[in-house]
Amino acid sequence: MAGIVSYGAYIPYYRLPRSVINKAWGRGGGRGEKAVAGFDEDSITMSIAAGLDCLKRTDPKTVDALFLATTTAPYKERQNSTIAATALDLRRDARNADFANCLRAGTTALLSALDAVNAGSLKSVLVTAADTRLGGASGENEQAFGDGSAAFLLGNKGVAVEIEGSYTLSDDLADYWRAHEDTFVRAWEDRFGRDEGYMKIPAEAAAGVMKKYNLAPKDFAKVCFYGANSRAHAALGGEMKFKPEQIQEPLLDTVGNTGAALPLMILVAALENAKAGDRILLVSWGNGSDAIVLRVTEQIEKIRDRRGIKRHLDIKRTLDNYGRYLRWREMVPLDPPTRHEGGLASMAAQWREHATALPLYGVKCKQCGTPQLFQSASSTHARICLECFAKDNFEPYRFADKRAKLVSFSHDYLGGGIDPPTTAAIIDFDGGGRGAFNMVDRDPDECQVGIGVEMTFRKLRYLLGSHTYVWKCKPVRD
C-alpha cells in the first residue's frame, strides 16, 4: 500500500513571544510564542528546509516530483516548486507542481501525490507545505500566525505510514480570504466562520471518512487537525467525538498557525511519538476539508533521526524585540538606504547558473580528487582544477549536504540590509572544499573560528519583482 516513506519539518530559529507583541501595543498578557521566519526566509526556503530534513539519506535523484503547497508563494507567475526542486537537486524531468490559494493546499497536495503513486505514474513524490502568512500589525492574526513547514515523501517501498483512505468535502465558505490585491487576510464575522464552518465541516469530513471505511474514533491513536486557535481546536476535537488524550497538540502556543502547513506539521509531531499499528486521522480545513486515515508501520523506526518538530522546537532563539520583527516583515516604512541598490539580477545568468548554484554543486577533480567549489562573480562553473590545473576533468560534487568548519568570519555593520550586521564567513567543508558564504541564525557572540556549520537555502534579496536565492551557512545545533 502506498503511503509516507519519510517525513520532515522545519521551524524557523526565531520565536516571538506574544507578550512582546502585546507590550509593543500597550497591552498586557499573551499566551505562548510564535515561530518567525528570518528576514531571508520565505515559503520556498522553508519548503526546502523541510524537504532536506525529509530526504535525509535519500538520493534526491530518485524523487519523481515535488508538490509544493503554500498560500504565500513568493511568485504568482513562475513555478515556485521548480525553484525548490532544483535547490533540492531533483531531476530535471521531475513533474513539479504548485498547490496554492487554500489552507487545505497541504493535504490536497498529499492526496494528489498519493493518487499519482497509486496510479503508478510517479513512484516517489516529495510533498512540502509551508506558509508565512502575514498578520497586520496589532491585529489578532499577527498574534496567531506563525511560520513553518512540513514535508513528506510518498512512495510504495519502505512505507512508514500507510494511507488507508480519504474523504473530501469542498465548500466555498469564506471565513478567511485574501484577494490578489491583498497583503493581509480578511475575515468575516468570527461566529459565522466558527458556527457554520470550522465547527461543522471538518467534523463532517471526519465522520464521512470514518463511515466510508467503517471506523470509529476509538480506532484512532491520534487525531491531527487544523486549528485557528486553541479554544476552537479543543472544541472541534469534542465535536468530532475524540477524547482529549487522542487529540494531537496543535503547536499553536509554540509555533503558531502555520496555515497550509499546520495540519501536516501536527501530523509530523504525532508520527514522532507513534508506534507501529497506530492509526491516525488527519483533518484539514479551508473552503472544505480533507480527512485522511493513516496507519503507522514498523518502518517508522527507521526514520526517527529527522529533526522534525520535536528537535526544531528546541533549536530556537527568542526575539525580544518587536521592532526587529516589523523590520524583517517590512511592515513599517524604513529609512531609505544610503547605499544604492544593485540592478535586477540577470535572468539569463541565473538560468545559466541554476544547475550548479541552486543545488550548490561544485566539482571533484578526476585527476587529483580535490573537491572544489567555484564561486566567481559571474560563474559557478569550475574549468581548471585549483590543485593540479587539469582542464575540464571533473565530476559533479554537491556541497549543500556537507557540513563545514568556520575558518573566518566578520560581522558587517556597513553593508546595510534588513537585519545588520551581516555575518560573512569562510568555511572549509568536511571532506574538502572551501567556500565564502553569509552566516545566519547565529548570535554574533557565539561565532568562533572552528565551530561547525551546515548549509541553509535563503533569500539574498528581493528587487524589482525578482527574488534571488543563495545558500548561506548556520551553526550546527544538534
Partner 1 sequence: MSGSIKDRVAIAGMGCTRFGERWDTGTNDLLVEAAYQAFEDAGIEPKDVEAAWLGTSSSGGTGMTLAEPLRLQYIPITRVENACATASEAFRNAAYAVAAGIHDIVLAIGVEKFKDSGMSGMGGGGTDGPGHAMLSQGLPPRQFAMLATTYFSRYGLSFEEGKHMIGRVSWKSHKNGALTRNAHFQKEVSMETILNAPMIAWPLGLYDCCGVSDGAAAAIITTPKIAKRLRKGKEPPVFAKALQIAISPRDGNYNSKYDWTHVEATVRAAERAYKEAGITNPREEISMAEVHDCFSITEAVTMEDLRFSPRGKVKDDIESGRFDLDGAQPIQLDGGLKCFGHPVGASGLRMMYEMYMQLQGRADEVLNPGMPSRQIKNPKLGLTHNLGGSPDGCAIFVGIVGLEGV
C-alpha to C-alpha distance for 360 and 380, rounded to whole angstroms:
9
CB of 45 to partner 1, least distance (A): 14
Q: Which is nearer to partner 1, 171 or 454 (CB)?
A: 454
Q: Which is nearer to partner 1, 24 or 386 (CB)?
A: 386
CB of 350 to partner 1, least distance (A): 5
Q: Which is nearer to partner 1, 36 or 373 (CB)?
A: 373
Task: Decide the pairing of beta strands 97-100 and 65-70.
Answer: parallel
CB of 215 to partner 1, least distance (A): 50
CB of 323 to partner 1, least distance (A): 19
List interacting residues with partner 1 (CB under 8 A). 337-346, 349-350, 352-353, 357-358, 372-380, 386-387, 407-417, 421-422, 424, 426, 428, 432-436, 438, 444, 448-450, 460-461, 463, 468-470
CB of 429 to partner 1, least distance (A): 8
CB of 214 to partner 1, least distance (A): 54
CB of 463 to partner 1, least distance (A): 7
Q: Which is nearer to partner 1, 48 or 201 (CB)?
A: 48
Q: Which is nearer to partner 1, 115 or 412 (CB)?
A: 412
Order of strands across the sheet that contains 3-10: 97-100, 65-70, 124-131, 148-155, 3-10, 161-170, 288-296, 279-283, 222-225
Q: Which is nearer to partner 1, 277 or 421 (CB)?
A: 421
Q: Which is nearer to partner 1, 26 or 343 (CB)?
A: 343
